[in-house]
Amino acid sequence: MDSVLDLARWQFGITTVYHFFFVPLTIGLSLLVAIMETIWLRTRKQEWLRLTKFFGKLFLINIAMGVVTGIVQEFQFGMNWSDYSRFVGDIFGAPLAVEALLAFFLESTFLGLWIFGWDKLPRSLHAGCMWIVHIGTLASSWFILAANSWMQHPVGYHFDKATGRAELDDFWAVMFNKVQLGTFPHVILAAYMTGAAFILGISAVLYVKKAEADRSMYRGGMRFAAWVMVVAGIGVGISGDVQGKIMTDVQPMKMAAAEALWDTSDTCAPFSILTIGTRDGKHKKWALEVPCVLSFLATGHTDQRVQGIYNLQKEYRERYGADTSSTTFSSGDYTPIIPITYWSFRWMMGLGVVGALVGLGLLWLTRKNKAPTARWFAVVAIASPVMVLLGNSVGWIFTEMGRQPWVVFGLLTTSQGVSPGVSAAEVWISLVGFTLVYLVLAVVEVGLLVRFVKKGADPFVEPPTPKWRESDEDRDKPLTFAY
Amino acid sequence: MELTTVWFCLIAILWMGYFVLEGFDFGVGMLLPILARDERERRVMINTIGPVWDGNEVWVLTAGGATFAAFPEWYATLFSGFYLPLFLILIALIVRGVSFEYRHQRPGATWAGWWDRAVIVGSFVPALLWGVAFANIVYGVPIDGDKEFTGNLLTLLHPFGLLGGLVTLGLFLTHGAMFVALKTDGDIRHRARALAVRVGVVAAVLAVVFLVWTQVHTGDLATAIIFAVAAVALVAGLGAALKAREGWAFLGTFFAIALAVAGLFVALFPDVMPSTTSPDFSLTTESASATGYTLTVMTIIAAIFTPCVLAYQAWTYWVFRKRIAVHHIPTEELEEEGHKDHTGIDPDPGGVVA
């Protein structure tokens, strides 16, 4: 194994998984905070402004991390994956550039206006800023997911032999790739679940801990979040199902790897909830199986054939070659690491389902003015954002590991994409450097979150009415918000 | 004009925008321990850039993305070749970025002090290294026939490269001081203006040496004119600062930086990364570019959305146009906890109890 390749993959994995804790959380929170502020504007109920400011502050602590860890992503393709960048740049670069131009400017500028604009912008415009930030996060997701979907299922391109790279033929085909159409709703709805779980967990803890006076506020917060979680959860399930069928169509190996289905099953393929087998995943000793479910997940029919790994491996060898010295394709093994795909697929679905059930359970427990104040209730509630966050991570680990050995499916293997001129020592330095800085920041960020959750929402303060013309007295007033 | 030339110009404009905008917020960050005399003044300085620094930083992300899309070979060679400097810049931008948001989240001088250090170092490192990187791009680096950079970190640290770093460092310090003078009121405003002139003279000398060296190395008539106008803008800016005309002074450093960057790109053209190994291996706007179709799509998108971005970014500067003085900094948070002790000594420096 080439160690620069392994190190670069570990670095990409660590920095990307870490970045993607903050991404879904802030996509979800930006929407929910925008809704809360809008509810306050409509109803003028003080508690909604208090919740807006409280969760707005927690949102800012998280988006700061999302922004800075995102810069690494933009640079890393060129730094560690220069041959990948040369190969895909004509196609992959455009969504990245457009993402920065359309989304990052929008998010950063209007976030600044939201943070500092309480005394400077009319109230509806202030709430509008958070809505625009949310639209920015959606635009950003659209472009980066379109870029990723192209890696899963290249469309709208041709391979140019003279330049040795993939070249764009149809920008719209890339933007509306069918993989993208399944992935975007799945990822965004999962992000809404994540933001909602965060609000649900923290509101429930404060509901149990805080004095009677604030209970109705936190109860409102957690019920609002629970509804979002359930509705988004159902949407995640439906979109995931659609995605599974598209995946079976364009990357049958990934579906086979998700189930560790070695032999093709001609009809009624079972789905295993648990398997105990050998460490390489090739032989199962015992499995808890549900008949025909895999056929349904993969094709929409319980009696359809699902292709197995052995078959696909043979087929891919014929199509892409088995010669390890081949200049076009360096590897003859087209099977991903099965235990990783098998378990990440299950954990993704399991954590998602449990998350949605927590939301449903909370709605039931808090019906008709009821609400439990027992400690277990808070513990289960606060575990839900952690579960949903991990569900997001294993979902992406499944998607990306399930595509291996390809970086661009059918066109370029991961080993062909790595930077040839970067040394192992250099990647060691950056891998260790990023990991250490990220660890320190994780401790700081969790510490801050715990601190603010313990404090709870600040008391209500009527925000100042912004004036277009300031008097001398106004001019000397302290800022409503300052760093 | 060829689309490759259009995109070369657009990328130049993105870097110009990045340096004139984030240039001043790097400057403000580095001047934190020099200009501010106490916590209130440090907060005044940080709040001058608070609402805008993140938007400024997006210019470099867009420049990176645009280079990837329009000149994939340039992006690949540059980013993998300048691996360690870029790694250091990224680490600096990470700790600096969170510092602005996290600094005020806990009371206590120790907490704020650590984030101040992060802001200072996180501003200093990119201010220096972007200059080193750009000087190297213009000067040329060893690139082989496979478009791969064949040097190492030390290859980049030659006198011309280091001088380039000192020039951006000096210019950003001056530009930052000008910005503080423009955006604050009270004592700090006057100190910032005086400092801008003093630092500005040193920066001007360094910049002139660097630009003349560049002119001798790769310049032509166009670069000579642009560099001359940049120098005039800088001197005019310093003169305006002496006369306490802060707006004009800031415009002076603004245009000096923008024009200096523009001149470097003109000196570079039509290469994007000259090779010192052999001129045949140099990456040019033609040999490094994406296809005509990709460039066309990108041109349409840029033509529609760039004016919108410029409009709302300009609007945000207008919203936050007010000067900030120490009496504008809210104090409740400080008095509420952590600073209960009126002797000024923090009873809980680590913020452990609070």
Q: Output the 3-class SS for A264-290.
A: CECCCCCEEEEEEECCCCCCEEEEEEE
pLDDT (mean) for A96-121: 93
Vertex A349 angle, CA A345 and A353, to 5°: 170
pLDDT in tens, A19-41: 999 999 999 999 999 999 999 99
Residue A400 to residue A302: CA distance in whole angstroms: 27
Buried b (16+ CB within 10 A) or exposed e, A392-402: bbbbbbbbbbb
Inter-chain contact B73–A86, Cβ cutoff 8 Å? yes
The alpha carbon of residue A434 is apart from the nearest alpha carbon of chain B, in Å, by 7
Q: For B353, which residue in chain A has the nearest alpha carbon?
A: A451
Helix (H) or strand (E) holding B271: strand B271-273
Residue A160 to residue A177: CA distance in whole angstroms: 21
* Domain presence at residue A219: yes
Encoded amino acid at A20, one letter: F
Q: Helices B53-70 and A82-98: crossing angle, nearest 10°? A: 130
Q: Hey, which residues 129-148 in chain B have their CB within 8 Å of chain A?
A: 146-148
Q: Is the dihedral of CA B228, B229, B230, B232 positive or negative?
A: positive
* Domain presence at residue A379: yes
Chain B interface mutation, best of A108, A119, A167, A453, highest count of B Cβ atoms under 10 Å: A108
Confidence grade of residue A323 (pLDDT, cut at 50, 70, 90): low
Whether the predicted pLDDT of B337 surpasses 50: no
* Domain presence at residue A366: yes
Give yes or no for a contact between B235 and B202, defined as CB atoms under 8 angstroms apart.
Answer: no
Out of B80, B290, B324, the one facing A93 most closely (by C-beta) is B290
How many domains does chain A fold into?
1
Tell me which range, A47-56, A320-329, A457-466, is most confidently predicted by mean pLDDT: A47-56
Inter-chain contact A102–B305, Cβ cutoff 8 Å? yes
Name the more confident of A446 and A260: A446
Please give the C-alpha separations between residue B265 and each of B107, B230, B256, B270, in angstroms, as whole numbers.
Answer: 46, 14, 14, 9
The alpha carbon of residue A251 is apart from the nearest alpha carbon of chain B, in Å, by 27
* Domain presence at residue A258: no
ipTM of the complex, rounded to two decimals: 0.92
Q: For A452, which residue in chain B has the nearest alpha carbon?
A: B105
Inter-chain contact B61–A90, Cβ cutoff 8 Å? no
Confidence grade of residue A2 (pLDDT, cut at 50, 70, 90): low
Residue A114 to residue B319: CA distance in whole angstroms: 11
Amino acid A328: pLDDT: 46
Three-state secondary-structure class, residue B209: helix
Whether the predicted pLDDT of A418 surpasses 80: yes
* Domain presence at residue A319: no
Helix (H) or strand (E) holding A168: strand A165-168
**Does residue B185 sit at the A interface (CB-CB below 8 Å)?**
no
pLDDT (mean) for B249-255: 96
Please give the C-alpha separations between residue A74 and each of A15, A30, A157, A175, B72, in angstroms, as whole numbers.
Answer: 12, 22, 23, 19, 13
Amino acid B262: pLDDT: 96
Amino acid B333: pLDDT: 54
pLDDT in tens, A275-295: 887 766 677 778 888 888 888
Q: For B301, which residue in chain A has the nearest alpha carbon?
A: A98
Out of A97, A429, A480, the one facing B68 most closely (by C-beta) is A97
Inter-chain contact B79–A75, Cβ cutoff 8 Å? yes
pLDDT (mean) for B148-157: 92
CA atoms within 13 A on the CB side of B98: 25
The C-alpha torsion from B139 through B140 and B142 to B147, rounded to 10°, is 160
Inter-chain contact A71–B57, Cβ cutoff 8 Å? yes
Inter-chain contact B90–A64, Cβ cutoff 8 Å? no
Per-residue DSSP letter, B275? B
Inter-chain contact A85–B75, Cβ cutoff 8 Å? yes
The alpha carbon of residue A198 is apart from the nearest alpha carbon of chain B, in Å, by 20
pTM metric for this prediction: 0.93
**Domain assignment of residue A178, given as a range:** 4-245+335-475
Dihedral pair phi/psi, residue A426, rounded to 5°: -65, -45
Q: Can the peptide bond before residue A336 be classed as cis, meaning omega within 30 degrees of 0?
A: no
Out of A85, A101, A112, the one facing B309 most closely (by C-beta) is A101
Q: Is the dihedral of CA A178, A183, A184, A185 positive or negative?
A: positive
Inter-chain contact B47–A479, Cβ cutoff 8 Å? yes
Inter-chain contact A421–B57, Cβ cutoff 8 Å? no
Amino acid B37: pLDDT: 92
Residue A64 to residue B99: CA distance in whole angstroms: 9
* Domain presence at residue A268: no
Inter-chain contact A69–B94, Cβ cutoff 8 Å? yes
Inter-chain contact B97–A168, Cβ cutoff 8 Å? no
| Nearest partner of B179 among B314, B17, B28, B20, judged by Cα | B28
Checking DSSP bridges between strand A284-290 and strand A406-408, what pairing results, if any? unpaired
The alpha carbon of residue B153 is apart from the nearest alpha carbon of chain A, in Å, by 10
Name the more confident of A289 and A238: A238
Inter-chain contact A167–B83, Cβ cutoff 8 Å? no
* Domain presence at residue A297: no
Dihedral pair phi/psi, residue B187, rounded to 5°: -60, -45
Structure tokens at A280: 């390489």
Three-state secondary-structure class, residue A411: coil
Give yes or no for a contact between A324 and A331, defined as CB atoms under 8 angstroms apart.
Answer: yes
Residues on chain A touching B47 (C-beta within 8 angstroms):
479, 482-483
Helix (H) or strand (E) holding A355: helix A338-365
Structure tokens at A312: 């696909």
* Domain presence at residue A312: no
Chain A interface mutation, best of B39, B71, B83, B129, highest count of A Cβ atoms under 10 Å: B83
Q: Can the peptide bond before residue A385 be classed as cis, meaning omega within 30 degrees of 0?
A: no
Structure tokens at A261: 């289905």
Name A397's Cβ contacts closer than 8 Å, sequence gap at least 6. Answer: A13, A17, A340, A344
Confidence grade of residue A322 (pLDDT, cut at 50, 70, 90): low
